[in-house]
Structure 1
């Protein structure tokens, strides 16, 4: 293959870098509207916090994750679906492709968000990169295998929601039969007595999640370090829960009666669905609010630290090519780019986050603090486990699967909105092909278009 004469020449195609800057904003914007929103949807649906409070907390947590814990180095081609070395002969073609990835991925997630479909932004980026690879090299230019390839992504569509649902159901059924189904006063006493156990599991899963998934710098830490640290943190917070939170909760429940779900304002079909769900004593549910909010916050911090790369990695690659004129397997991520992506993400959550919070809140099944807490635990444990094993999974898929499974724990299939489940699953299946087709066609149309020659035709003012 003949090397392009542009290799090693930086700062070419200023128009490309300008448009890439805007497309990166679009991609980060839609991640905020879709991905971040699903982390807080259960808390809002359970009335643990209001929508405004959720947006405020999420904006802060995401920025903390992006700035304090975000990776400053990323893969030039996310998820390694296409070999970056294949573009070393023409680096600006790679820059064009990654710019199209931001536009194609962000455009699809924007459409899905307006349709209230919680989709995987990771898989949207993967699909967009597949489109670039196929448009450039054909089917042979894509890693279709399971280990690090597209086969693993397809498997995760089914594995992650099922496993997450099973774990969330186990957590919730244990809570339901040990605490919630007992008479009111007995349920409160049992819940308070088990608070240290819940603290142990909650902070143990959170600690493991942050070490294995949320903080990029710690992902390769050996098990002999992560396992003892995780258990140590879990035991510490279990003791804290016993010493401080048990007496505080006992007093708080006596003073503040709290409230349970209010289905006023819901659509008629949603109200009928909620009527089929088990509803526990309100004071018992109050105990789970703090635990649910804690898991939501750490979920959000982890998302900012880890998944923001879905938006900034393609633009970081464009910037790498623009500033050096060369291709590398790793691309430096400037701090200003992390901040830029974090702000775009917050804007997306603020302006369009209600679409997904509404869909995954009370429209899918009845939510409550205890349900939301178990859903978050099941999803986080699944993501943590598979991330450590190197299997690509989506937090969106895990949350959706866990929410559906907990809804089934009511013992009535009518307690789940199956029409919405179908819409959500359809969005999962469409994400990769739609993002890939749009991105591939856009990239191919631009890359294969006629290139004007200086001094000829229209660009010289000569039309004869």
Structure 2
């Protein structure tokens, strides 16, 4: 149970963070992200997911430590799962972003200390499997991801954004970025390869040829089908072009140019900081000093609301929108709204009856709430608060690019997002399945040494599905916080962030080093944001994230190690 809970938390935390950039930049809907995450998480998990599992299974606590006692081994990894999952669940519930990977690793180290003492835990490098190697990723992974993300976005900015007329440049260079994304995706599959196929043992020339060949093939397909469709939509500004017409490819070259003041029919990718109830008129020209005077005058008239009250109002806007839904979620939300609990404690007779009546609606909400959550409504900033003012300053320092240009990268971002999801399945599913694999091996064989056996495919599949379920049903808690709270998001930026994070994860996973997806995507986000200037990043939020990563190590270790120590050292009475 704890293994599945840990996997559920992993999905609600790390997968949500991996897809936050795509959903926040409006390249894909939340439901579309759910479908893509399901497919690519499973692909990554089933093809290459077992590689990092051996590090957590045997690299931190040597199997010899248990001296053949399978019961103690089962207890140790059960406590590790309980401690890690409890900490991550609490943090996710409170929208505090932590690393599920490092939570589990710290928990395993904690039970190792409780079981055999600190001297028997692999604190050093241990051929890349010890805690020294793992925690080195705490510093290296975000920095590497920041570098990769900054390089890719710098390339996009140099080739496209700085041009006098960037729209044609975005259209004609699209195949090149499809080439980059396709090559990285193919590289992650071929170079890492499925152990059963032995693709990772192929010579370098074979790996390079297949990976680059796949990228070139994707670039050619985009040049034949995608470029004519995009040209007709954003350059010719054909208002009648449909999505399915991308299949007609070259035939779209014959479409005429629009006349008059026609504009390209593309989504608006701008991030709106203020909420729908804002009294500010965007056309008003108000100085900063005048605005401060107005705020002070309003404050004298009415008491200022706390951040908690403002957040509750923001949640209520989400609830109100869900109540308008015509499906099951709309019925359930309306029923709960129209049938609240009465006065008094829960044990009052009228409240007990009302609680029973509310159960069907609560079950429906629990099952469907995450699928219908409006991330953008929840992410709308609240003006007048310190957080709202800070994010407004951050957004003001980020350069905004034309929607027609950003629209081009919204399609490329889907590839990079799926690549990031594949990389997460390859890396984090191994981390999540490792303790369960140890427990199952010890239980089924009665031999602690059997933990070195390969992880069964069915276990990887179950954990992968549980990870996806965590993202679907609970991932909104992290996505509403992480989406646009670090820096300004847009499809071109999101493409760079996701691709930089994916490359970093694949490199570290290749060397069997468990790294955190959340750390990589955070590092890539900061790297891309910094290109817009130091003030284009919310450094307070970055500092809170780094602090949460650091405190996770001792807290998760104690939550797992203390129960292990208590159970092992509990009084034993003779028969």
Instruction: Confirm whether residue 403 of structure 1 aligns to residue 403 of structure 2.
Output: no
Q: Give structure 2 stretches of 5+ with no counterpart.
A: 239-264, 276-379, 382-387
Instruction: Confirm whether residue 178 of structure 1 aligns to residue 187 of structure 2.
Output: no
Aligned to 2:269: 260
Indicate how the Cα distance of structure 1 residues 31 and 216 shifts in structure 2: closer, same or farther if over 3 A, else same: farther
Match of 1:361 among 473, 476, 483: 483
Q: For each residue in 1:154-210, what CA deviation from the matched residue of structure 2 results, as whole angstroms up to 9, or x when unmatched?
A: 221111111211121121122113212334xx2111111111210111111112223
TM-score, with length taken from structure 1: 0.86
Indicate how the Cα distance of structure 1 residues 77 and 302 shifts in structure 2: closer, same or farther if over 3 A, else same: closer
Distance, in Å, in 2 between the alignment partners of 1:390 and 1:319 is 22
Distance, in Å, in 2 between the alignment partners of 1:402 and 1:385 is 14
Distance, in Å, in 1 between the alignment partners of 2:130 and 2:51 is 24
Task: Give the Å deviation of 1:73.
Answer: 11
Distance, in Å, in 1 between the alignment partners of 2:64 and 2:484 is 47
Distance, in Å, in 1 between the alignment partners of 2:538 and 2:193 is 31
Distance, in Å, in 1 between the alignment partners of 2:480 and 2:202 is 38
Q: Secondary structure at the match of 2:475?
A: helix
Indicate how the Cα distance of structure 1 residues 248 and 349 shifts in structure 2: closer, same or farther if over 3 A, else same: same
Instruction: Confirm whether residue 291 of structure 1 aligns to residue 419 of structure 2.
Output: no
Q: Secondary structure at the match of 1:307?
A: helix
Q: For each residue in 1:222-262, what CA deviation from the matched residue of structure 2 results, as whole angstroms up to 9, or x when unmatched?
A: 53432222122122222222222211221233333332214
Task: Give the Å deviation of 1:403.
Answer: 0.2
Range with bigger deviation, 88-97 or 361-370: 88-97
Distance, in Å, in 2 between the alignment partners of 1:149 and 1:341 is 24
Q: Is the 8 A contact 1:313 1:331 kept in 2?
A: no
Aligned to 1:85: 64
Task: Give the Å deviation of 1:212.
Answer: 4.3
Task: Give the Å deviation of 1:150.
Answer: 1.3
Distance, in Å, in 1 between the alignment partners of 2:512 and 2:434 is 19
Distance, in Å, in 1 between the alignment partners of 2:193 and 2:12 is 20
Indicate how the Cα distance of structure 1 residues 296 and 79 shifts in structure 2: closer, same or farther if over 3 A, else same: farther
Aligned to 1:447: 568
Distance, in Å, in 1 between the alignment partners of 2:145 and 2:231 is 32
Task: Give the Å deviation of 1:79.
Answer: 6.0
Aligned to 2:424: 303
Match of 1:343 among 465, 490, 494: 465
Range with bigger deviation, 320-329 or 444-453: 444-453
Range with bigger deviation, 40-49 or 252-261: 252-261
Range with bigger deviation, 60-69 or 95-104: 60-69
TM-score, with length taken from structure 2: 0.70
Distance, in Å, in 2 between the alignment partners of 1:219 and 1:88 is 34
Distance, in Å, in 2 between the alignment partners of 1:307 and 1:215 is 16
Q: For each residue in 1:88-141, what CA deviation from the matched residue of structure 2 results, as whole angstroms up to 9, or x when unmatched?
A: 421110011111111111112222323434333222221111112111221211
Indicate how the Cα distance of structure 1 residues 405 and 71 shifts in structure 2: closer, same or farther if over 3 A, else same: closer
Match of 2:15 among 19, 22, 36: 36
Aligned to 2:136: 155
Distance, in Å, in 2 between the alignment partners of 1:288 and 1:73 is 32
Q: Secondary structure at the match of 1:49?
A: coil
Q: Secondary structure at the match of 2:27?
A: coil
Q: For each residue in 1:53-75, what CA deviation from the matched residue of structure 2 results, as whole angstroms up to 9, or x when unmatched?
A: 32343234334444566549953
Indicate how the Cα distance of structure 1 residues 79 and 379 shifts in structure 2: closer, same or farther if over 3 A, else same: farther
Equivalenced residue count is 430
Match of 1:414 among 531, 535, 543: 535
Instruction: Confirm whether residue 126 of structure 1 aligns to residue 126 of structure 2.
Output: no
Match of 1:231 among 182, 192, 212: 212
Q: For each residue in 1:30-63, what CA deviation from the matched residue of structure 2 results, as whole angstroms up to 9, or x when unmatched?
A: 0011111111010011011222332343234334
Distance, in Å, in 2 between the alignment partners of 1:282 and 1:246 is 17
Q: Is the 8 A contact 1:312 1:341 kept in 2?
A: yes
Task: Give the Å deviation of 1:77.
Answer: 4.5
Aligned to 1:100: 79
Q: Is the 8 A contact 1:213 1:302 kept in 2?
A: no
Distance, in Å, in 1 between the alignment partners of 2:535 and 2:53 is 45
Aligned to 1:244: 225
Task: Give the Å deviation of 1:220.
Answer: 5.3
Distance, in Å, in 1 between the alignment partners of 2:454 and 2:22 is 36
Match of 1:271 among 392, 404, 410: 392
Instruction: Confirm whether residue 135 of structure 1 aligns to residue 256 of structure 2.
Output: no
Q: Secondary structure at the match of 1:113?
A: helix
Distance, in Å, in 2 between the alignment partners of 1:333 and 1:392 is 16
